[in-house]
Amino acid sequence: MLSPRKIFIALLLTIVCAFAQDRGSATGTVTDASGAAVPDAAVTLKNPATGVTLRFRTGADGGYTFASLPAGLYNITVEKQGFRTAEITDVNVAVNTATRTEIRMEVGQLTEKVQVEASVSALQTDRSDLGKVIDKQAISDLPLFVSGGMRSNLAFATLAPGVRTDMSQDVDEGGSPVVGGGTGGSNTSYLVDGGEATSQRRNDPQMRVTSAEGIEEFKIQTGAYSAEYGHTSNGILNYTTKSGTNEFHGTLFAQIRNQALNAKGFFYVAPLPSAQTVHNQNDEAVSIGGPILIPKIVNLRNKAFFFFSGERSRAKDIVSSALLSVPTAAARQGDFTGYLGSNGAPIVIYNPFDGAGNVLANANARVPFPGNLIPQSMINPVTALLLSYEPLPQNPSSFINNNPVVNTGQRDPGENQGVYAIKGDYNPTDKLRFNGLFSKQYFNGCQICLGPIPGPEGEGFQEAFDNKYVSFNMDYVIRPTFLNQFSFNYYQRDGIEAGNERLGANTGTYGMATAIPGDLSYSKAPNYTSYDTSGNGFGNYNSFVQTYSPSRTYGLREGMTWIKGKHTIKYGFDYLRMNYGRSDCNGCGGEIGFNSTATSNPSVSGTTGADLASFLLGLGNSGLFNFNGNINYIYPYYAWYFQDDFKVSRKLTLNLGLRYDLPLARREPKGQSSNFDPLIQNPGAGNLLGALIFAGSGTGRTGLSSILQHRSTAFGPRAGFAYQVTPKTVIRAGGAIYYNSNKEDGNADGGIQGFGGNFSAPANYFSSGISILLPNATNAAIAGFNPYNNLIAAAKPPQVNPSLINFGGPSYFSDGKVGQYYDFNFTIEQSITAATVFRATFHATYGNETQSSQQFNQLNPKYIPIYGNLLTQALSSLVSANGTITNSVLLANGYSLPYAGYPLTQTLANSLEPFPQYGSISGTTNGGHSTYNALETQLSHTFSRGLFVQVSYTFSKWLSDNTSPNVYAENREKDLSGSDRPQILAIAYVYELPFGKGKQFGSGWNPAVNAILGGWKASAVQQYQSGAPFGVSCGQNLFGAGAARCSINPGVPLINPNWDPSSGSSSYLNKAAFYQPANGVFGTVGAIVPGLRNPWQLNENVALSRVIRLGSERKTLEFRGSVSNIANRHWLTGINTTATSSAFGEFSNPQAELPRNIEFSLRFKF
């Protein structure tokens, strides 16, 4: 059997494959005055900016096609003996778009040249796919904001119909991906100059390969894309970057945002210090391009060009206030007399030690500390030292909630981001063209880097990301009808997350040098233990975060375009190798948790003990250590395609194609991969089915590099047509089958059992009373910590043992097959004016065998009526020590233990689960399905007479069962998708006000008046979308049989009729509409409750700009004022959906959208 490497090499040597995916085409027909075709006419296409010239001879039908053209403006010249030479200028070719130009020639002398009014239709007459182009003028003129990072290249993607996102989040920050066509947001393909620029990790933010100043245009492709596109189920964002020309050109840009211009929040009540969002940010950008020219040495006009763009953003903000807890001076000395309950009575602190200083074995025998005072001699010295660096509370009269702060989100020294890119183009001949791009993006930010309180209490961490992108393209015109294009791209993303450097630099001072031996393969901050004392509002000491995440994407495409008569044929080959690595040291230095367990008395009713008291004594209740997995997953991908765009007649075009994808399952080169296998015997569980298997070679391993399956039948046919019914009406339809990309879900920490991951110390270790806070960081002290160290050493990987995590929770990936999607659209386009087109589309996408999250070890509900509450009891109360069944109900129903020696500490429910040797088994399967049906409409008015308008409206329904918490009720779990937005309206417009020189009004104004009142431009983006649907949960005991759903009282309104949206604490839901079923009874609702949705998301951004011409048409200065959220709207998110909660129906975040802010920018263009 040939290896993937051999397959790749063979194909690379024998196939000339992938059409330039970032290119467009110019096509049309040459006719005479009677409308008859003009064959054998010489058609010349020239890019006046670069001098590149291409030639073509029309066929018998008068048709011509120039394929694989970089986006831009072109001139077309047509020559034919007996006709005047026809010339058409400024023909716009957009990315992944066929621009049709119909040319009518006049009888005359060839030497006579005439400017022809060519028919350039805004209708899409040659393609059946769905998409929308956003050009550089729209990117430049529409309001674009900074909100912590740089201006977003993705901000305008939601202007296309059928595209949605969570408007409360930045689409570039990973938390809110662009979603289109009823598929998952993590599967969008980002193409930059034809190359894939995405990380293998599912939730990584998109790289900004270039500044907004460096984008020529981009196209959002949302459905039925042709066979040259694949490796995505969620559409394509296809970017083309700017290139240099024969004239030097560029921009200087600056944008500022200042807290003084921010509005107060909707729920502002004076005189709260956080009424106004504190956010200061500067964003600067530069771009320059032109020919490669050194006077008197090198002059490469018409041959070689460069374009550089760069942008940086610096932000510092304090986003909210909070009321935190800081230990009082008395508490630090062990004085808990001020620690009171809600009834005003003291909460008693119990002494866990006996008179000899040993921990009492019986917690019920603990006695209170006299006077609720812990003797200072018993306070752990490490705790005392840590607390000595804490500030005293601002309100010392309160034991807790005594320290108001306004900097819980402080980023200091700030969040810095930047990107720069350099592109080069070289055209040695008109037949051979090269271009290359290098880009680098950096990000240094904080997640509460300094923490809300000065001192060692810093639970935040900082992030640093470094991204690089390289692409190389070669276009070779073998002959006018035969083109070859080769492309290579490389994307590198390195992310580091590390704990608080301020604390890390002083670990010796704080007595926090490594207490638990870690295993860091890299280091940004020292390795030290994290202490969790977060109860009662107190904070943590140090963040446990320490990760390194390298991601690499290698892409190779080769392709041919063959124009044969009425056929434009493309065939090619794609190769991608996507790597995702993870060196995860979250907790490699150990993490110790403290709660009230050590200082409470379980025999006493009411609240006893305190987290802080346990911390003072150095007695923890939990311990965690993480072994660094150092995983590197590789996802190879191969694809072949054939596409034929057949111009049957002037009115009818057929788009036919076939793509074959071969997405191989992930593999780990060192064999550090494991999986739960339900068909393998478990030697540690009486040979019951269900055990771990391990990849790689060696004892106990499978001998395979991958233990997952892959889809080998991923054939993706494409079929569509475009029919021009009249000169102003086109009907289009298209269908396709495509497959999503196989991406890493999360942090590469699934499927690594035995090779890394968290190790939790047994609970009895802590109850034994060993003091786990060291008095100091000396070797002798660490030696005293040996009981925990010995446990860690015994669990050190690799652990190739099929019974490794019996009675734990293994990860299960049922296979690595990618999901399959059937996509269909039917479109009617109507030209209203030469610049205005209306489109209405029925768009349907059906997902089959898609990735679905599932619980694989749920109790079968059939046992609930049989055993009832016995299911919660430990087997030791139902079975004798020798395994004899003693309970009459179990005897009557023929119950037996799963195997001899089954632990009697397990409950009856555990023993009846499909795999009783395990707890919860969570994972993914390819058993999901989805259904999306939509009416997508669009009104487009391209820039004409000072006006641009884009209006998109989508009415849709999206069903999904991709999350099935109740596996025994799957049919009921197919419901509305959590991403369903039935109505989406997006409006964008730019209007040059008709005042001033050359305008309708004021053309005769004197220069002074014109300088003040002329040259103004208004623009806006308005977005409105339905809220996301949601469900409600109840608290009945289902004994592990699934998720507890509520039931509905018929006829009672679901929404609270008295809900007050202006109140942050008003309940949105009507609690009377829901009731909790009895234990063991599934509720009547599914994962989503029909009729329940979050409120609408509404937003309006506007801008007003003034353009001043500086001596020539090519030099301008633009001043702009932009206002985001001009209506100061507030969105409510984070609704409490637990029906048994006192806060049921309330929104935890009543202002998800930032209040209105004003930003100013200045752009010099030359």
Give the Cα separation of 772 and 766 in Å (integer): 8
248-257: average pLDDT: 94
End-of-domain residue from the set 123, 155, 173: 123
8 Å CB contact between 871 and 913: no
268 SS3 class: coil
Is the pLDDT higher at 365 or at 13? 365
Both structure tokens of 845: 């996408």
How many beta carbons lie within 10 A of that of residue 179, not counting itself? 25
Residue 107 lies in a domain: yes
Identify the pLDDT of residue 304.
94
274 SS3 class: coil
Whether 320 shows a pLDDT value over 70: the answer reads: no
Least confident piece of the model among 410-424, 483-497, 676-690, 912-926: 410-424
Domain check: are 1007 and 1147 in the same one?
Answer: yes
Query: For the residues of 481-516, what is the DSSP string, one character each?
Result: TEEEEEEEEEEEEEEEEEE-HHHHTTTTTTT-S-SS
Give the Cα separation of 351 and 609 in Å (integer): 9
Amino acid (one-letter) located at 676: F
Integer-rounded Cα Rg, in Å, for the chain is: 34
Both structure tokens of 633: 């997953």
Residue 598 lies in a domain: no
| Residue closest to 510 by CA, chosen among 524, 533, 528 | 528
Dihedral sign computed on CA atoms, order 40, 41, 45, 51: positive
In angstroms, the Cα distances linking 108 to 45, 84, 450, 1084 are: 22, 5, 79, 81
1123 SS3 class: strand
1056: left (phi > 0), else alpha (psi -120 to 50), else beta? Answer: beta
Residue 655 lies in a domain: no
Identify the pLDDT of residue 516.
43
Amino acid (one-letter) located at 5: R
Domain check: are 908 and 970 in the same one?
Answer: no
Give the Cα separation of 715 and 1009 in Å (integer): 66
φ, ψ of residue 866 in degrees (nearest 5)? -80, -45
Give the Cα separation of 196 and 229 in Å (integer): 11
Is the pLDDT higher at 14 or at 1069? 1069
Burial class (CB in 10 A: 0-12, 13-18, 19+), 1057: exposed
Domain check: are 988 and 877 in the same one?
Answer: no
Identify the pLDDT of residue 519.
41
Is the pLDDT higher at 381 or at 27? 27
Give the Cα separation of 1010 and 1113 in Å (integer): 16
Both structure tokens of 1141: 């909660």
Both structure tokens of 558: 């080769």
8 Å CB contact between 747 and 583: no
End-of-domain residue from the set 892, 912, 932: 912
End-of-domain residue from the set 869, 892, 912: 912
The DSSP H or E segment spanning 393 is: none
Domain check: are 898 and 972 in the same one?
Answer: no
Least confident piece of the model among 357-366, 537-546, 579-588: 537-546
Give the Cα separation of 690 and 856 in Å (integer): 11
In angstroms, the Cα distances linking 473 to 73, 156, 287, 435, 546 are: 20, 27, 22, 5, 38
Identify the pLDDT of residue 910.
95
Interior/surface letters 817-853, b for 16+ CB within 10 angstroms, e for the rest: bbbbbebbbbbebebeeebbbebbbebbbbbebbbbe
Both structure tokens of 913: 């689960």
Give the Cα separation of 100 and 92 in Å (integer): 10
Identify the pLDDT of residue 272.
40
8 Å CB contact between 76 and 115: no
Identify the pLDDT of residue 455.
57
pLDDT-derived band at 660 (thresholds 50, 70, 90) equals: very high
pLDDT-derived band at 591 (thresholds 50, 70, 90) equals: confident
CATH of the domain at 79: 2.60.40.1120
Both structure tokens of 976: 């509305």
β-strand 729-739 against 820-833: which pairing, if any?
Answer: antiparallel
185-213: average pLDDT: 78
Query: For the residues of 934-999, what is the DSSP string, one character each?
Result: EEEEEEEEEEETTEEEEEEEEEEEEEE-SEES-GGGHHHH-EE-TT--SEEEEEEEEEE-SBSTTS
**Alpha helices (H) in 134-252, listed in sequence order:** 136-141
Burial class (CB in 10 A: 0-12, 13-18, 19+), 1142: exposed
Question: Cβ contacts of residue 1007 below 8 Å, gap of 6+?
Answer: none
Domain residues for the domain of 76 are 4-123
For residue 746, the number of C-alpha atoms closer than 13 Å in the C-beta half-sphere is 12
In angstroms, the Cα distances linking 13 to 20, 560, 868, 1161 are: 19, 14, 68, 52
Domain check: are 894 and 978 in the same one?
Answer: no
Give the Cα separation of 967 and 306 in Å (integer): 58
| Residue closest to 638 by CA, chosen among 196, 4, 137, 1141 | 4
In angstroms, the Cα distances linking 770 to 272, 323, 380, 930 are: 46, 34, 13, 54
Domain check: are 895 and 974 in the same one?
Answer: no
pTM: 0.84
| Residue closest to 899 by CA, chosen among 623, 1107, 687, 649 | 687
Amino acid (one-letter) located at 944: S
Q: Which residue has the tokens 């009713």?
A: 605
The string of pLDDT tens digits covering residues 36-68 is: 999 999 999 999 998 889 999 998 889 999 988
- Domains contained in the chain, number: 3
What is the rounded average pLDDT for all residues in the chain? Answer: 83
Both structure tokens of 426: 């070289």
The string of pLDDT tens digits covering residues 1092-1116 is: 999 898 999 999 999 888 877 789 9
- The highest-confidence range among 270-279, 426-435, 991-1000, by mean pLDDT, is 426-435
Domain check: are 908 and 994 in the same one?
Answer: no
Residue 1058 lies in a domain: yes
Both structure tokens of 389: 């660096």
- For the chain, how long is the longest CA-to-CA vector? 117
Is the pLDDT higher at 937 or at 972? 937
Both structure tokens of 246: 């024969």
Q: What is the DSSP letter of 453?
A: S
Residue 70 lies in a domain: yes
Identify the pLDDT of residue 506.
46
Domain check: are 969 and 907 in the same one?
Answer: no
Identify the pLDDT of residue 440.
94
pLDDT-derived band at 409 (thresholds 50, 70, 90) equals: very low
8 Å CB contact between 403 and 639: no
Residue 719 lies in a domain: no
Domain check: are 997 and 1128 in the same one?
Answer: yes
Amino acid (one-letter) located at 962: N
φ, ψ of residue 1113 in degrees (nearest 5)? -65, -25
Residue 707 lies in a domain: no
Whether 792 shows a pLDDT value over 90: the answer reads: no
Residue 997 lies in a domain: yes
What percentage of the chain carries pLDDT values higher than 70?
A: 82
Domain check: are 1126 and 1058 in the same one?
Answer: yes
Domain check: are 991 and 1080 in the same one?
Answer: yes
8 Å CB contact between 104 and 32: yes
557 SS3 class: strand
Domain check: are 989 and 868 in the same one?
Answer: no
Least confident piece of the model among 303-317, 784-798, 833-847, 1063-1077: 784-798
Amino acid (one-letter) located at 766: F
Least confident piece of the model among 304-308, 556-560, 756-760: 756-760
Least confident piece of the model among 103-112, 929-938, 1149-1158: 1149-1158
8 Å CB contact between 481 and 494: no
